[in-house]
Amino acid sequence: MSQMESIGKRIQKLLELRNMTQRELAKKIGITEVSIGRYIKDTREPKATVLADIALALDSTTDYLTGISDNPENEDNNEYEIQTIAAHHEGEEWTEEELEELEMFKELVRQRRKKRNK
């Protein structure tokens, strides 16, 4: 990730790349335009589920938005395709951040399933 490049800056770049307005993005994912503006201005960070919705709506990835990847394109690469997932975390200690990442991943899988079934 570029040193100071925030989620907001990356959302803005994707909006420009996709020739989409903040209003269109907000409508597409079912949140207010004000919320999108706050994310872009970095006065608020989107929850994991909203981040997944933004990535899907902008045909990108949460990895790009969070800075894990510098590739804005969603290439739906087979090496990332999940065949089976099983998670059991009873009795284990998880941080809030780890639990949120797990929820974000689950939501991403749900969104991909919806997209495939359209």
pLDDT over threshold 50, residue 80: no
Which pLDDT score, from 0 to 100, does residue 118 have? 59
pLDDT over threshold 60, residue 60: yes
- And the tokens for 115? 């997209």
- And the tokens for 58? 């902008």
Q: What sections of the chain are H helices per DSSP?
A: 7-17, 22-29, 33-40, 48-57, 62-66, 96-116
Q: Which domains does the chain have, with CATH numbers?
A: 7-116 (1.10.260.40)
pLDDT digits (tens, 9 = 90+) for 2-14: 456 899 999 999 9
Q: How far apart are CA 112 and CA 96, in angstroms?
A: 24
- And the tokens for 91? 């009795």
pLDDT digits (tens, 9 = 90+) for 24-54: 999 999 999 999 999 999 999 999 999 999 9
